[in-house]
């Protein structure tokens, strides 16, 4: 059963119940010398989902974008209930769907916005519980699942401690940050303990989108622009560029960031970003960095294919950031996994490049076995 945003747009659950339409190579696991590893694959705990509904019922204070999601993708309907069932499941049903679509391993992480809309203590407790549940699933199915830890940036010191626990005790391989927290970004020195812990533990940060924060969301609320089609990428690309322009990678050169959705559009703009940065340095508008912004992007960032089945976008990213920086992701259960597999299977890549995208880049970055 293929269940994703495109199906919801069609406004019918009939299509959601149909068997997956698989590519020639999908429907079986990859060849013995190659695995399909999908690294932006979502889950949620029932406790977090319940707290979301309470938060939405209270009007989502300080989170107008999330309130809009409460009226759409999080509203109660047959389609959204089916998505929720897929998010909750960390067992046989998820694995069966992976088998049906030819996915060897999912790298699972807490879906957006995770715990980042909650008050501090609740967020910290829910993140730890989510990590425990995810780690238990990974332990039960080690050949099929790996995981990224969730933390509550609201309490940076506690978040750093949780990241140490996730690495040393739970075996999780990175962390998920669902972009801003209350409109604040990771370049804020408040969050330095999280960045230092991630760098020291060799835990890449998957910087995942969510609706823009209260300070920028107003023009996005009309016409659905706050959502994944535009607002998510606009908000998360801003977050990534703030990390670059703040000099974060000069202080933490080993810090690694993963961006989904073909780098949230940044690869297309790298030349212009450099060009305008140099102008601003020349006129004294910004402090100079030791390297060009594009160099930090190419050295400290990885990108995934999540949500894209556009060959021209893949080729542009291949040219701009290199094949060794591109990882496969299907964005389960929000996008069509079958389409994602067919996209890479049919891409104009050599067999060696395809293996880099499907398996080797993720295995190296996340230390997967």
- Which residue stretches of the chain are H helix? 5-10, 46-57, 64-70, 78-88, 92-101, 120-140, 156-168, 192-200, 231-245, 248-251, 261-264, 266-282, 293-300, 311-321, 337-345, 351-355, 361-366
Quick one: pLDDT at residue 12?
36
Name the architecture of domain 27-366. Answer: Alpha-Beta Barrel (3.20)
Burial of 78 (0-12, 13-18, 19+ CB in 10 A): exposed
Interval 40-58: pLDDT, tens: 999 999 999 999 999 999 9
Phi and psi of 40, rounded to 5°? -125, 70
Euclidean distance between CA atoms 274 and 276, whole angstroms: 6
Euclidean distance between CA atoms 93 and 333, whole angstroms: 12
Other Cβ atoms less than 10 A from the Cβ of 75: the count is 12
Euclidean distance between CA atoms 46 and 130, whole angstroms: 9
Euclidean distance between CA atoms 299 and 355, whole angstroms: 21
257-259/37-43 β-pairing: unpaired
Give 318's Cβ-side CA count (13 Å radius). Answer: 17
Query: For the chain, which residues score pLDDT lower than 50?
Result: 1-3, 8-27
Residues 338/26, Cβ–Cβ less than 8 Å: yes
Q: Is 353 left (phi over 0), alpha (psi -120 to 50) or beta?
A: alpha
Query: Hey, what are 122's tokens?
Result: 């609740």
Concerning whether 100 is annotated as a catalytic residue, the answer is no
Quick one: pLDDT at residue 39?
97
Query: Hey, what are 278's tokens?
Result: 């140099």
Catalytic residue from among 100, 331, 339, 345: 331
Q: Tell which residue, 330, 347, 348, has the closest CA to residue 339.
A: 330
Phi and psi of 146, rounded to 5°? -135, 170
Quick one: pLDDT at residue 69?
87
């Amino acid at each position: 059963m293929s269940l994703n945003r495109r199906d919801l747009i069609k406004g019918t659950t009939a299509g959601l119940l149909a068997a997956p339409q698989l590519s020639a190579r999908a429907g079986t696991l990859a060849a013995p010398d190659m695995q399909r590893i999908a690294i932006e694959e979502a889950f949620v705990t029932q406790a977090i989902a319940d707290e979301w509904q309470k938060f939405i019922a209270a009007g989502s204070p300080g989170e107008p974008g999330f309130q809009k999601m409460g009226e759409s993708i999080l509203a109660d309907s047959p389609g959204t209930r089916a998505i929720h069932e897929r998010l909750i499941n960390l067992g046989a049903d998820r694995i069966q769907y992976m088998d049906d679509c030819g996915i060897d391993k999912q790298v699972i992480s807490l879906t957006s916005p995770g715990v980042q809309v909650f008050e501090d203590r609740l967020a910290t407790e829910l993140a730890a519980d989510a990590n425990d549940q995810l780690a238990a699933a990974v332990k039960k199915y080690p050949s099929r699942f790996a995981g990224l830890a969730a933390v509550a940036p609201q309490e940076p010191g506690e978040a750093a401690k949780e990241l140490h626990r996730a690495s040393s005790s739970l075996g999780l391989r990175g962390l998920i940050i669902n972009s801003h927290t209350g409109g604040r970004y990771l370049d804020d020195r408040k969050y330095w303990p999280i960045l230092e812990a991630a760098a020291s533990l060799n835990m890449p940060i998957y910087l995942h989108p969510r609706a823009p924060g209260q300070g920028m969301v107003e023009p996005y609320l009309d016409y659905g622009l706050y959502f994944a089609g535009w607002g998510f990428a606009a908000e998360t690309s801003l977050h990534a560029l703030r990390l670059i322009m703040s000099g974060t990678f000069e202080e933490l050169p080993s810090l690694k960031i993963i961006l989904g959705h073909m780098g949230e559009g940044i690869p297309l703009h790298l030349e212009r970003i450099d060009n305008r940065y140099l102008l601003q340095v020349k006129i004294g508008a910004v402090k100079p960095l030791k390297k060009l912004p594009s160099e930090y992007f190419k050295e400290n960032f990885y990108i995934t294919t999540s949500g894209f089945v556009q060959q021209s976008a893949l080729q542009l990213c291949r040219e701009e950031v290199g094949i060794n920086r591109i990882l496969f992701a299907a964005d389960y259960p929000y996008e069509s996994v079958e389409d994602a597999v067919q996209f890479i299977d049919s891409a104009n890549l050599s067999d060696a490049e395809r293996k880099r995208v499907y398996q080797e880049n993720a295995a190296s970055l996340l230390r997967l076995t």
